[in-house]
Amino acid sequence: MSRVFLAALAVLSLVAGSAAAEPTATEQRIRELAAKKPGSSVVFMDVRLLENGRETTCSQTSVDVVSDQGYSDSFFSRNAPGFLGRPGADATYGGITVLPAGTYTVVSVRCKALIRLNGKFARFRVGPDEIINAGCLVIDFKVGPLTLFDRPTFNGRTKVEGLETKAAQSLTGRAPTIFPKAAKRYLTPNPATSGPKPS
Q: Are residues 126 and 176 in contact, defined by beta-carbon separation less than 8 angstroms?
A: no
Domains observed in the chain: 41-189 (2.60.40)
Computed from CA positions of residues 13, 72, 107, 27, in that sequence, does the dihedral angle turn out positive or negative? negative
CA distance 57 to 48: 10
Pair 88, 81: CB distance under 8 Å: yes
Alpha-carbon distance 89 to 25, whole Å? 16
Greater model confidence, 49 or 134 = 134
Digit-coded pLDDT (tens) for 68-110: 999 999 999 988 765 555 666 678 999 999 999 999 999 999 9
pLDDT in tens, 43-74: 999 999 988 888 887 888 999 999 999 999 99
- Percentage of the chain exceeding pLDDT 90: 55
